[in-house]
Amino acid sequence: MAATVTNSVSSLVQAIGDIPPEAIVFGNSEAMQALRDRLSKVAGANVPVLIHGESGTGKDIIARLVHALSPWKSGPFVKVNCPAIPGTLLESELFGYERGAFTGAYGSKPGRVEMAHRGTLFLDEISELDMPLQSKLLQLLQDGQFCRIGAQADKKVEVRIVCATNRRLEEEIENGTFRQDLFYRINVVNLYMPPLRERRGDIDPLANYFLEFYNRKYNCKARPISAELMEVLQKYHWPGNIRELENLMKRYVILGSEDVISADLQPREADLLTPEINLDGPISLKKLTRQATRALERKIILKVLHNHHWNRKQAARTLNISYRALLYKIRDAGLPPNRARRTEDAKSQVAAD
């Protein structure tokens, strides 16, 4: 199954514009392999799909892929960004209207539901639909029928509905802001986009992909990512997910300095002090405690270095350790030897550019 998708995806790369080759689009982490497997099973069947995951995890890309692998791939792909359209306009935008339906409706206009006939209707941020629109959407999902505003009769369309959300719809149902029956209708197949911090194995290939991509695009020659920077990328918590990684690599290609970007990637305090605990296997208390101690030590060293403007001799005195021991610890903690100066140099270089 996966092979079928692999082949189909490779042939689609061009059709979806900037989307990178299949291996990079999916990565090799277990979570992405599971996603690929599910996608291969669902893409060919015209059932509704709900894609959920944090912002920047690739929900748009997957929605386009679902369309590109579907039997109606030669039909239209119509995206509706629900929060971007004011509530009052959303109904006419989605379902269209007839002449005279409201003041200013001088002619009739089809909505995006109709435009997506024999194709895919992608409803992004579905939780933003208000209750009356949720009811109209439910009708569409139940019998393929809808009504233009001001029309006398229902119309019928054949359309595949793909929805995306970065909220937990179960919670919205509990809060009474999302219809449970609609949830069951749109959630026939669920695709979960894991955050980047849950697929750290994919950071390396993605970062290298973006490096190559933007080097080519901007005609730049940024150097390969150093082992030190890759370690920083691996440890970072990536709140903006792939979008943040992509922007970071774009910045690296344009500015050409690792220091500028590694300064942006300070780990959160909570991450430093709480090592990731994998509950799937046996837990080594000794190892985790060692990791937490090292993280705390790194934090203290950083703070003292910062207070002394990266004067390592003074920092060593304050920490009551030898200068040599401090140098060793700085290297061991993956900190740059004299970060402040190098960062400032790089920043003034950028400003001069």
Ligand X SMILES: Nc1ncnc2c1ncn2[C@@H]1O[C@H](COP(=O)(O)OP(=O)(O)OP(=O)(O)O)[C@@H](O)[C@H]1O
Residue 196 CB contacts under 8 Å (≥ 6 apart), including other chains: 57, 202, 203, 238, 241, 242, 244, 245
Contacts 24+ apart (CB under 8 A), 143-149: 146/95, 146/111, 146/113, 147/95, 148/95, 148/96, 148/97, 148/98, 148/101, 148/108, 148/110, 148/111, 149/91, 149/92, 149/95, 149/96, 149/97, 149/98, 149/101, 149/102, 149/105
CA-nearest of 54, 79, 66, 61 to 21 is 61
Residue 194 near which of Mg ion, ligand X, none (CB within 5-8 Å, type-dependent)? none
- The yes or no reply on residue 25 touching ligand X (CB under 6 A) is yes
The CB-of-19 to ligand X minimum distance in angstroms stands at 7
Residue among 6, 31, 60, 205 that touches ligand X (CB under 6 A): 60
Q: What's the min distance (Å) between Cβ of 220 and ligand X?
A: 18
Site for ligand X (CB under 6 A): which residue of 13, 16, 23, 24?
24
129, 121 contact by CB (below 8 A): no
Nearer to ligand X (CB atom), residue 22 or residue 114: 22
Of the pair 43, 123, the CB lying nearest Mg ion is at: 123
Q: Which of 29, 31, 60, 333 lies at the binding interface for Mg ion (CB under 5 A)?
A: 60
Query: What residues numbered 182-241 form the site for ligand X, per CB under 6 A?
Result: none
On whether the CB atoms of residues 118 and 79 are closer than 8 A, the answer is: no
Q: Which is nearer to ligand X, 96 or 194 (CB)?
A: 194
Distance CA 349, CA 327 (A): 27
For Mg ion, the closer CB: 92 or 120: 120
Of the candidate spans 56-64, 100-108, 114-122, 210-218, the one that interacts with Mg ion by CB under 5 A turns out to be 56-64
Indicate which single residue of 61, 105, 151, 230 sits in contact with ligand X (rule: CB under 6 A).
61
Output 98 or 212, the one with its CB closest to ligand X.
212
For residue 167, what is the DSSP state? S
For residue 118, is it left (φ>0), alpha (ψ between -120 and 50) or beta? left
To Mg ion, the closest distance from the beta carbon of 187 in angstroms equals 18
Q: Which position among 243, 308, 312, 347 is part of the footprint of ligand X (CB under 6 A)?
A: 243
> Residue 193's CB: how many other CB atoms inside 10 A?
24
Q: Which does 108 bind (CB under 5 to 8 A by kind): ligand X, Mg ion, none?
A: none
Least Å from the CB of residue 165 to ligand X: 8
Task: Pick between residue 218 and residue 323 the one whose CB is nearest to ligand X.
Answer: 218
- List binders of Mg ion among 207-226 (CB under 5 A): none
Residue closer to ligand X, measured from CB, 21 or 44: 21
Q: Which does 38 bind (CB under 5 to 8 A by kind): Mg ion, ligand X, none?
A: none
Show the tokens assigned to 234: 């691996």
- Please tell me the distance from the alpha carbon of residue 200 to that of residue 203, in angstroms, as a whole number: 5
* Interface residues toward Mg ion, by CB under 5 A: 59-60
* Interface residues toward ligand X, by CB under 6 A: 20, 24-25, 53, 55-61, 166, 242-243, 246
